[in-house]
Amino acid sequence: MIDPFGRTVSYLRVSVTDRCDFRCTYCMAENMTFLPKKDLLTLEEMNRLCSAFISKGVRKIRLTGGEPLVRKNIMFLVRELGRHVHSGGLDELTVTTNGSQLARYADELYDCGVRRINVSLDTLDPAKFKAITRWGDFSKVMEGIDAAQKAGLKIKLNAVALKDLNAAEIPEMIRFAHGRGMDLTVIETMPMGEIEEDRTDHYLPLSELRADLESEFTLADIPYKTGGPARYVEVKETGGRLGFITPMTHNFCESCNRVRLTCTGTLYMCLGQNDAADLRTALRASESDEYLYAAIDEAISRKPKGHDFIIDRQHRKPAVARHMSVTGG
């Protein structure tokens, strides 16, 4: 699949649910109204959609949410997609999770062909973790990380950089992650969905964070890539990798290889744009995949060049109204 700007689309991110067992302050409101369950694709339909994308050239699928592991019977989909990994039809099946359910599912994820996961973790301070996530239990996440490493899963920690909340902790998080053989990626907060706070209060440009880190660490740019938007450096003092995802200060649109599928069958060709394609109708219109393939091709032909995210005091409204949990990370 080639978009209008010559970029090969080979990476599909799938939000299997908009629900989450956390309520992270920068992501969603505490009293969220989630989609009615009747509006969601069945897991069988999700499997068929994902398989169609694999047939069209997708080589990597990441399951996201909300929190993907709270979706009932989610391991059915993981196992079905894992068959494409075992057959060689898919290079990689990965999961982004908050870690709350990892202790329960880590072994099964590995058995299904998952070898690498991302765990969202913004602080190592249990009290601060509770304040950021509202509903999260830090000890459960730590148990999940332990279980995942024991199962053989390679972990990358994702931390949203938040001024006056966790910025001073990033050095400690680097040492923690690298000390356990995990990569760490820091992410700029993005203006998606209405929340109870003003994002400008905690927005931290990663250029500032990197400058601060370079007073303590030696950072060397490296060409390492995982298929996503992170740019990596090697931290000389720890020997580990640190990634920077900068949708605000230095967007990565020129190399975008991704599209995002929601749990209702809506395909977003860009995280930061509202243009979308309804694949649920195409999916349910026929048992044949020809109509579905045509709908996918039409959607890819509309993939935009990039997004227009802005965070400042003059742009208090989110760039897009939908929450990140709807689109799928």
236 assigned to some structural domain: yes
Instruction: Please state the domain count of the chain.
Output: 1
Instruction: Judge whether 2 lies within some domain.
Output: no
256 labelled ligand-binding: yes
Is 24 annotated to bind a ligand? Reply is: yes
CA 280 to chain centre: 22
Q: Which amino acid, one-letter code, is at 220? A: A
Q: Establish if 4 belongs to a structural domain.
A: no
Stretch 55-73: mean pLDDT = 96
Residue 27 is labelled as binding a ligand: yes
- The whole-number pLDDT of residue 319 equals 47
Domain that holds residue 203: 11-327
Cα separation, 37 vs 18, whole angstroms:
10
| Spatial strand order in the sheet of 240-245 | 219-221, 231-235, 240-245, 183-188, 154-161, 116-120, 92-97, 60-64, 11-15, 258-261, 266-268, 276-278
- Ramachandran class of 15: left when φ > 0, alpha when ψ lies in -120 to 50, beta otherwise: beta
Hey, what amino acid is at 189? T
Alpha carbons 14 and 221: distance in angstroms, whole number: 30
Q: Is 50 annotated as a binding residue?
A: no
Annotated binding-site residue? 20: yes
Residue 270 annotated as binding site: yes
| Domain of residue 54, CATH code | 3.20.20.70
Return the number of other C-beta atoms located less than 10 Å from residue 305's C-beta. 13
Q: How confident is the model at residue 306 (pLDDT cuts 50, 70, 90)?
A: confident
Average pLDDT over residues 145-152: 98
- Residue 44's pLDDT band, with cuts at 50, 70 and 90, is very high
Per residue in 17-30, pLDDT tens? Answer: 999 988 888 887 88
What's the confidence (pLDDT) of residue 313?
42
pLDDT at 192 over 50: no
Q: Is 26 annotated as a binding residue?
A: yes
Kindly state the average pLDDT of the residues 273-298: 93
Is 71 labelled as part of a ligand binding site? no
Residue 215 lies in a domain: yes
Task: Please check if 13 is assigned to a binding site.
Answer: yes
Known binding residue 280? Answer is: no
Residue 56 marked as a ligand binder: no
154-161/116-120 β-pairing: parallel
115 is in an annotated binding site: no
Q: If you average pLDDT over residues 273-287, what whole number do you get?
A: 92
Find out whether 248 and 228 touch, Cβ atoms under 8 Å.
Answer: no
pLDDT over 70 (residue 249): no
Does residue 307 sit within a domain? yes
259 is in an annotated binding site: yes
With respect to residue 312, please indicate whether it lies within any of the assigned structural domains. Answer: yes
What pTM was computed for the model?
0.87
